[in-house]
Every structure is written in C-alpha cells, then in structure tokens.
Amino acid sequence: MTKAVLDAIAARFDLEQSEVQVTSIDIDHDEQKIRIELVINSTKRPEALAKSYFGLTGKVREALGSDWSNFFPVINPKFNSGIHA
C-alpha cells in the first residue's frame, strides 16, 4: 500500500519517488480515516508544490484501492525546500 501511495503522491507533485517519504500511516477505524504524514524534499518553490495539492486526495484514494474505499485519506505534507544530495 505504501508504494502505491508514494507513486501517486510523487506523480501528483511531479517529483521523483525518492523526494517523497511517508513518515506515518495511521488507520482510524472508528472515523474511517487513514492519516498519512509525509515529507517532500524538493528544490521546487513551496507555492509551486501547493498548486499540485488540489486533487491529491482523489489520487491517493485511487492508490489505496477498493479495500480502503470506505476510508477517507487525510494527508499532512511537510515541505523541505533546498538542495538535497
């Protein structure tokens, strides 16, 4: 599941998968939510990345597949800008 989510997030932000790191996935069965925390390391300006945030939830829902279709993904990104080796 994590790989599919990473692929969807990287594609949505037009990044390499190595620039996206999922730091935690927490499943709340009572609220039917999947909380996904991630860090994006990129030299792109935060404003440019923020424009790609629209539509991310739908892409992640697709990546989660039918087994998780009743759960809503809550995505909390943290952006690290600058040069990364």
Structural domains of the chain, count: 1
Q: What is the CATH number of the domain that holds 61?
A: 3.30.70
Mean pLDDT, to the nearest integer, of 43-67?
A: 86
**What pLDDT, on a 0 to 100 scale, did the predictor assign at position 43?**
83
**What pLDDT, on a 0 to 100 scale, did the predictor assign at position 13?**
85
The pLDDT > 90 percentage for the chain reads 42
Question: How many CB atoms are closer than 10 A to CB 53?
Answer: 12
Decide: 27 and 77 in contact? Cβ < 8 Å. no
**What pLDDT, on a 0 to 100 scale, did the predictor assign at position 81?**
66
Is a pLDDT exceeding 70 seen at residue 82? no
**What pLDDT, on a 0 to 100 scale, did the predictor assign at position 2?**
80
| Domain span including residue 65 | 2-81
- DSSP class per residue in 6-47: HHHHHHHTT--GGGEEEEEEEEETTTTEEEEEEEEEESS-HH
Summary mean pLDDT of the chain = 86
Mean pLDDT, to the nearest integer, of 32-45?
A: 89
**What pLDDT, on a 0 to 100 scale, did the predictor assign at position 83?**
53
